[in-house]
Amino acid sequence: MPKVITIKESVYKRLSKLKRRHNMSFSDAITFLLNFYESRKESTGMRSFAGSLREKAVLMTRLRRIYKKS
């Protein structure tokens, strides 16, 4: 059963842009965003950040080596 909700004009424009880009309905766009939010919420524990600093340091070292060679 359809429901009426009120949202800000700026939110409507962003949601409309998203739905057009992916060729979906407003309901599908909202469902997509909610699913995305819920999946991100579950993976925001400290373990999700494990190794990220080390990976960044390795990448920066590699980029410096490449830059020095050129």
Distance separating alpha carbons of residues 64 and 57, to the nearest angstrom = 11
Residue 26 lies in a domain: yes
11-58 pLDDT, tens per residue? 999 999 989 988 999 999 999 888 888 877 665 565 555 665 666 676
Residue 45, pLDDT score: 60
Phi-psi region of 50 (alpha: psi -120 to 50; beta: other; left: phi over 0): beta
Residue 37 lies in a domain: yes
Residue 40 lies in a domain: yes
Residue 6, pLDDT score: 95
Residue 1 lies in a domain: no
Q: How many domains does the chain have?
A: 1
Residue 13 lies in a domain: yes
Residue 66, pLDDT score: 67
Residue 4 lies in a domain: no
